[in-house]
Structures are given as structure tokens and as C-alpha cells.
């Protein structure tokens, strides 16, 4: 079992490294262009399987890690919903899978906030922040699911926001594992820059939409 876990950890780290590079290429290349699409697909699959492998590692004997498990679910949510948002540009998409994924994120977010309180009697700041962010995004998903017209209008905003959320997870894992930034700052610094970049794109999309209306 230890050998299996070791191999799985190497696979997880390798996929995460590829996702880190592919995601960066997708960010700096022209949106909708060939390089963006190809690097985006590589990022999606490598990041998704890296996150899923983290879920397996976190439940293996001697490797049990509720923290890693919940972060794996958090990352998976953003990657899956970010990729599936591409479907929303077409009318009347089927939303069953999307609703299940978003509901799972809300449940995971609640666990991320409550579990440390039950386990050690105090709040874990990092888990609480990530859990709250996940709940906010997933709740907004359900609001959009009830409004097909707005869902179709906002597909690009959802795609960019969710995929950037997934990339923030990849960068955070890279920084924390390699201890480039110590303590809680290592967990939160990528989110600060990621949210700033996300805000830039949302404003750019808003201006573009305003010109076309």
C-alpha cells in the first residue's frame, strides 16, 4: 500500500506541475485562440486528475488527510464547473450534473468550516475562507440555473472565473508544498492576485458587453 501511495503521490505531483504550466499558457495567450484552447484542455484534464488523485491519497491508510480531501473536492468543483460553463452558450443545456456538482460544493464548504470546530474546537482560517468562497460560487450557480437567459449571457464570465479558481488552487498547492511563502500567507497570496486578475477580466467583459448592447 505504501508503494502504491508513493506512486500516486508522484503522479499527483507530476499532473499538478503540468497543470501549473498549461494553466499559465492558457492565461497569457489570446482567449479563444488555438493555443488557449489546447493549453486549456491540457490544464483541465491534468488538474482534474491531480485533484482526484488527491482524494484517493487522502483516504489511504497512514495517509488519511481530511484537509487534503476537502481541498481536492474544492479544486475539482472549480475545474468541472469552469469547463462545463462552455456548454451554457447554447440554449437549454441539461443541468442535472451541474446541480449535483454545485450542491456537492455547498456541502463540502459547510464541512470545511464546521469540521475543524468539531475536531479541535476552533475555526481553521484557511479552510473557512476556501469553504466560504466555494459556497458563494455554488450558490450563485443555482441562482443562474433558475435564469436560463442570464446563464447563457454569463457563460464566459463563469468559464473564466471558475477556471481561474482552479488555477489558483494549482498555484496555491505549488507554493505551499514547496514552502515558497511560509504560513497562512502561502495559502492566501495566490488568491489575492488571482481575484485581482479575475476582477480585471470581469470588468473587461462588462465593458465589452456594454458596447454590444
Tell me how far CA of residue 28 lies from CA of 23, 91, 197, 213, in angstroms: 9, 30, 12, 28
Average pLDDT value for the chain: 87
Domain count, the chain: 1
Split at pLDDT 50, 70, 90, the class of 211 is: low
Split at pLDDT 50, 70, 90, the class of 13 is: confident
Calculate the CA dihedral of residues 208, 153, 103, 67 and round it to 10 degrees. -20
Q: What is the pLDDT of residues 94-127, one digit of tens each?
A: 999 999 999 999 998 998 899 888 888 888 888 8
Split at pLDDT 50, 70, 90, the class of 80 is: very high
3-state secondary structure 14-27: HHHHHHHHHHHHHH
Domain that holds residue 173: 2-212
**Mean pLDDT across the stretch 12-23?**
90
Residue 84 predicted with pLDDT over 90: yes
**Mean pLDDT across the stretch 134-141?**
94
Burial class (CB in 10 A: 0-12, 13-18, 19+), 9: middle
> What does the DSSP 8-state code read for residue 85?
G
**Mean pLDDT across the stretch 134-138?**
93
**Mean pLDDT across the stretch 127-144?**
91
Residue 186 in grid coordinates: 502561502
What pLDDT score does 121 carry?
Answer: 87
* Cα–Cα distance, 9 to 29 (Å, whole number): 30
**Mean pLDDT across the stretch 77-101?**
93
> CB neighbours of 134 closer than 8 A, spacing ≥ 6?
74, 77, 105, 106, 108, 109, 112
What pLDDT score does 98 carry?
Answer: 95
Split at pLDDT 50, 70, 90, the class of 85 is: very high
What pLDDT score does 210 carry?
Answer: 60
Split at pLDDT 50, 70, 90, the class of 78 is: very high
Share above pLDDT 70 across residues of the chain, in percent, rounded to a whole number = 97
Residue 144 predicted with pLDDT over 90: yes
Amino acid at each position: 500500500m505504501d508503494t502504491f501511495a508513493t506512486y500516486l503521490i508522484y503522479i499527483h505531483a507530476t499532473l499538478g506541475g503540468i497543470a501549473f504550466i498549461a494553466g499559465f499558457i492558457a492565461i497569457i495567450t489570446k482567449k479563444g485562440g488555438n493555443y488557449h484552447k489546447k493549453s486549456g484542455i491540457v490544464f483541465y484534464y491534468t488538474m482534474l486528475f491531480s485533484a482526484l488523485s488527491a482524494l484517493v491519497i487522502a483516504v489511504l491508510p497512514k495517509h488519511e488527510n481530511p484537509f487534503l480531501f476537502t481541498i481536492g473536492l474544492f479544486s475539482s468543483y472549480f475545474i468541472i464547473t469552469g469547463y462545463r460553463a462552455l456548454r451554457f452558450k447554447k440554449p437549454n443545456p441539461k443541468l442535472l450534473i451541474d446541480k449535483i456538482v454545485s450542491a456537492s460544493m455547498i456541502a463540502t464548504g459547510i464541512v470545511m468550516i464546521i469540521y475543524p470546530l468539531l475536531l479541535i474546537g476552533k475555526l481553521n482560517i484557511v479552510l473557512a475562507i476556501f469553504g466560504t468562497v466555494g459556497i458563494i460560487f455554488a450558490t450563485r450557480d443555482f441562482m443562474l440555473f433558475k435564469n436560463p437567459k442570464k446563464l447563457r449571457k454569463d457563460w464566459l464570465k463563469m468559464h473564466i472565473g471558475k477556471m481561474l479558481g482552479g488555477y489558483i488552487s494549482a498555484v496555491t498547492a505549488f507554493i505551499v508544498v514547496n514552502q515558497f511563502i511560509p504560513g497562512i500567507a502561502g495559502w492566501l497570496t495566490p488568491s489575492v492576485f488571482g481575484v485581482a486578475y479575475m476582477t480585471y477580466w470581469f470588468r473587461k467583459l462588462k465593458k465589452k458587453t456594454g458596447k454590444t448592447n
